[in-house]
């Protein structure tokens, strides 16, 4: 970078100080999560000792066993809650990626009336959250006969503006228009172009969408559209158990570990792709 190998405008002392401060701060941020993991392996006797210890002295799986026996004693089997959450997460994520990518493809690579206006609308939609639309959506879902089905949770998520917002600029920057045009002259159908050429080129973007979707859908708690116990989510069932009070501190920690491990694992796998995708996004002036 600089002529003599030294970096511009940097001093070693400040660099080291920054690394130290960052590491201390980072440790402080993850500490509660590590603490949750540590507590989930503590036997009951260690949860109630004074002064409390951070790490377990005699690690045990008892809390996880208790959690599963509590869950299997509830009148809806544990596997049912698990299935609900997994189904909502998978269906919502897959649908969101396909819908958002399909919509982003023409917006990114073609010029047609209304395209720009539509994307501006997406930008505006980022500026308010789903809380605003709950009541009208409830009416819509009731009219569609969707109360007590998975759809009220999945359908609005399919059109989450963030996915389209991230997908469109990434396609713009990573899919050369010449490639699309030459495919068109060879008579490849639009659907084939989208599915066979565009989608494989934007893998980092859909991995990013997977990260955000899983994060949102996996932690889906109680929904005002679902009254049937058979359709409730894992997060809802787990929070019911946790609300049993401090006596269930160990089980509660086990719940936290289960709930956080899936989205964190997905993020770790896709991390570099997420950064690559978000580099192309940003609100243009």
List binders of another protein among 182-221 (CB under 8 A). Answer: 190, 194, 212, 215, 219, 221
Q: Which residues contact 69 (CB under 8 A, 6 or more apart)?
A: none
Please choose, out of 66-74, 76-84, 226-234, 269-277, the segment that lies near another protein by the rule CB under 8 A.
269-277
Assess 176 for contact with another protein (CB under 8 A). no
Q: Tell me how many residues contact another protein (CB under 8 A).
A: 104
Among 233, 234, 253, 270, binds another protein (CB under 8 A): 253
Residues 6 or more apart whose CB falls under 8 angstroms from that of 261 comprise none
Kindly tell me which of 10 and 65 has the beta carbon lying closer to another protein. Answer: 10
Using CB under 8 A as the binding rule, the residues of this chain from 1 to 20 that contact another protein are 1-2, 8-10, 14-15, 18-19
Nearer to another protein, 83 or 156 (CB): 156
Choose which of 57, 135, 177, 247 interacts with another protein (CB under 8 A): 135
Q: Do residues 158 and 96 lie in contact, with contact meaning Cβ atoms separated by under 8 Å?
A: yes
Report DSSP state, residue 195. Answer: I
Q: In whole angstroms, how close is the CB of 66 to another protein at the nearest point?
A: 15
Smaller CB separation from another protein, 114 or 145: 114
Q: Give whichever of 2 and 58 is closer to another protein, judged by the CB atom.
A: 2
283 in contact with another protein (CB under 8 A): yes
Shortest separation between residue 74's beta carbon and another protein, angstroms: 18
Q: Report the nearest approach of another protein to the CB of residue 93 (Å).
A: 15
Residues in CB range of 163: below 8 A, 6 or more apart: 96, 97, 100, 209, 212, 213
Q: How far is the CB of 174 from another protein (least distance, A)?
A: 13
Cβ closest to another protein, residue 66 vs residue 276: 276
Q: Which is nearer to another protein, 177 or 224 (CB)?
A: 224
CB of 84 or CB of 198, closer to another protein: 198
- Smallest separation (angstroms) from another protein to the CB of 56: 14
Binder to another protein among 153, 205, 217, 255 (CB under 8 A)? 255
- Write down the least CB distance from residue 90 to another protein, Å: 18
Binding another protein by CB under 8 A: which of 33, 177, 247, 269? 33
Q: Which of residues 62 and 281 has its CB atom nearest to another protein in the complex?
A: 281
How far is residue 178's CA from residue 199's CA, in Å, rounded to a whole number? 16
């Amino acid at each position: 970078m600089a002529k003599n190998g030294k970096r511009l405008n940097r001093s070693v002392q400040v660099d080291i100080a920054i690394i130290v401060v960052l590491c201390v701060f980072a440790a402080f941020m993850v500490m509660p999560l590590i603490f949750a993991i540590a507590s989930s392996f503590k036997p009951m006797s260690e949860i109630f000792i004074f002064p409390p210890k951070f790490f377990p002295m005699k690690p045990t799986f008892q809390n996880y066993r208790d959690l599963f026996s509590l869950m299997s004693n509830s009148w809806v089997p544990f596997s049912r809650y698990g299935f609900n959450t997994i189904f909502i997460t998978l269906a919502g994520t897959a649908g969101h990626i396909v819908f958002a990518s399909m919509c982003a493809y023409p917006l990114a690579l073609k010029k047609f009336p209304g395209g720009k206006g539509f994307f501006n609308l997406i930008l505006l939609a980022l500026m308010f959250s789903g809380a605003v639309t709950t009541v009208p959506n409830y009416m819509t879902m009731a009219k569609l006969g969707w109360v007590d089905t998975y759809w009220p949770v999945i359908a609005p998520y399919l059109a989450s503006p963030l996915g389209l917002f991230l997908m469109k600029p990434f396609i713009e920057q990573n899919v050369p228009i010449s490639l699309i045009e030459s495919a068109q002259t060879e008579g490849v159908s639009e659907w084939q172009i989208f599915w066979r050429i565009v989608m494989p080129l934007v893998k980092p973007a859909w991995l990013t969408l997977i990260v955000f979707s899983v994060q949102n859908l996996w932690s889906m708690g109680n929904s005002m559209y679902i009254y049937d116990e058979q359709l409730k989510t894992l997060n809802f069932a787990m929070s019911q158990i946790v609300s049993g009070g401090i006596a269930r501190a160990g089980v509660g920690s086990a719940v936290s570990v289960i709930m956080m491990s899936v989205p964190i694992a997905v993020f770790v796998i896709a991390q570099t792709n997420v950064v690559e995708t978000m580099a192309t996004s940003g609100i243009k002036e």
